[in-house]
Amino acid sequence: MPDPSRLRSQPRPTRAPYTGMPSSLRRSRRRELALTRSCTDAIRDKIHPNQLFFTDRTNVRSYSQLTSISDAGSSVIQTSRPSVVFSLYCSPHPAMPVHPIHRLPLELLMHVFVLGSFDDIMFPVLVSHVCHSWRAIALHTQTLWRRVVLTQHSDLIMWQERLYRARSCTLDVVLASHPTSSEPHDIDDLELKMHMLAPHLTHMRSIHIRLDGYTPYLWNITLGPLCQTSSGSCDPHSKGRISVPRLESLSLRYSRNDDTKEFTLFDGASPCLSRLAVEGVRLTWLPGLFGNLRYLEYTHHGFTSGSTAVDEILSILHVSFQLRELKLCFASKAIETEILYMGGKLVVEEIVTLPFLETLSLGVDGTDVKVPTELVSVVSRLSLPSLRKLNLCEPCLTRQSPWNYVTLQFAGLTTFFDTIHEQACWCSVTDLSIEGRWVELPLIVGLGRSFPCLRTIGINGITKVLPFDDDMSVPT
């Protein structure tokens, strides 16, 4: 038996210094490194992003690639953020049942989202905040973000993000006054908006600009980024050529404009432009810009009158001879000095032929009490062999009550109707519509009988089908 006093004299063993490494005795407390299935799927999606299908791991089925969605950028959908896209329906709790809405095909959901964006401009933002799956679908549906609507109180930071989400999709841009605001546009704010939109011109499918109120040189600020770079009146700081290869529709409206400057848009070339609406602005009418128009709504700017205005309008129609529908309107406007029209002058009394025109609408807007002589002169020099519909309208009726014009007619209606009677090439008209101050029953009866192919006559929204009896009665 060892001596106790001897044991007390022996030194006690000391603890080994801590080296920062776990002891082998504590291995049982350590967690083994193991890849879960979700981590493995995420890594696989990152390494192989070019899979051509979406996998529903909760329902064990796949969806075909989105090649049927036009303009949706399927290549971007397949390669952008694949770990999010390929796990749209991967539930964190596999045992939980999947809601039936998550079993809908992606193409159907995308189409529903796009339809909803037509009614509410903020709808894309709303659906992107519903759940993880819908947010992933919304962020990868480029057509959902194509509409851009800017007013005086728009949040430019939000719209910059939405332009980014649209990526290479074509854009539909609207720049207009706020419907509930009567204040004019601020020049600096308008310049910021155009500066934001300018880099995206190549992706724009439609541009609609409508300005209300009055601010000097407003068109100069607005149309500067759209104009030819060589023009000193437009944007002098822009670099490179301005190209709009996808632009199909353009609308420029500013009725209170007093700037007589003539603008040359898009470097004189817009190959796909087929629809144009112009009010209160002078444009250089070039074949490369407006030679392919199918629809034209032209309200004369009022800076020219008499024979000068007639030559200008006929020169425009001579360039845009492929029109299918034409709306020509004269608005009353008080100007201090008249400008000279320096465009191509036609031969005196030359007839302009529009061989494909099927619908013609003629209107007088404003407080004029007489049919403008310029309109009568233009009508007398038009040859329209394919004309089917003739509308004599009054745009102000859409803003006021038509009952204000029941007992009023334009002065000079007899001369105007006689001019149409003399147009033998208009005999193919089948539908005639007349409203507002154009209505004078005896003249309408005579005009209806001069069209042998006429089938219907509409007066102030009431349509009557031919043939009429000898005692022709027209609804009032």
The residue out of 113, 128, 144 marking a domain boundary is 144
Q: Is residue 12 part of a domain?
A: no
pLDDT digits (tens, 9 = 90+) for 9-46: 555 555 555 555 454 444 445 455 555 676 666 666 65
Same-domain status, 387 and 412? yes
Q: Are 428 and 307 contained in the same domain?
A: yes
Asked if residue 379 belongs to a domain, the reply is: yes
Those residues whose C-beta lies under 8 Å from the C-beta of residue 476, and which sit 6 or more positions away, are 406, 439, 441, 459, 460
User: Is residue 207 located within the same domain as residue 268?
Assistant: yes
**Confidence category of residue 256, pLDDT binned at 50, 70, 90:** confident
Q: Quick one: tokens of 225?
A: 């980024």
Q: CB burial class (10 A; 0-12, 13-18, 19+) of residue 365?
A: buried
Q: Are residues 260 and 326 in the same domain?
A: yes
Does residue 377 fall inside a structural domain? yes
Q: Provide the residue range defining the domain that includes 315.
A: 151-229+240-333+347-399+406-465
For residues 274 and 361, membership in a common domain is answered with: yes
Domain for residue 474, yes or no?
no
Query: Where a domain ends, among 144, 178, 210?
Result: 144
Q: Could you tell me if 246 and 222 lie in one domain?
A: yes
Question: What CATH number is associated with residue 255?
Answer: 3.80.10
Number of domains in the chain: 2
Q: Which of 108, 123, 144 is the last residue of a domain?
A: 144
- 192 and 294 inside one domain: yes
Q: Is residue 340 part of a domain?
A: no
| Domain shared by 133 and 218, yes or no | no
Domain presence at residue 388:
yes
Q: Mark whether 193 and 255 lie in a shared domain.
A: yes
Q: What are 166's two structure tokens?
A: 């649209």
Provide Rg for the chain, Cα atoms: 35
pLDDT digits (tens, 9 = 90+) for 133-186: 888 888 888 888 999 999 888 888 999 999 998 988 999 999 987 666 667 778
Same-domain pairing of 329 and 258? yes
The model's pTM: 0.73
Model confidence over 353-392: pLDDT tens digits? 999 999 999 998 877 678 888 999 999 999 999 999 999 9
**Other residues' Cβ atoms within 10 Å of the Cβ of residue 383:** 15
Residue 32 counted as domain residue = no
Q: Do 374 and 457 belong together in one domain?
A: yes
Scan for tokens 């800076």, then name that residue: 303
pLDDT for residue 450 is more than 50: yes
Count of alpha carbons within 13 angstroms of residue 130, beta-carbon side: 15
Q: How far apart are CA 175 and CA 177, in angstroms?
A: 7
Q: How does pLDDT run across 193-202, given as a tens digit for each residue?
A: 999 999 999 9
User: Could you tell me if 260 and 133 lie in one domain?
Assistant: no
Tell me if 295 sits within 8 A of 325, measured CB to CB.
yes
Domain membership flag for residue 316: yes
Among residues 285, 278, 351, the alpha carbon closest in space to that of 320 is found at 285
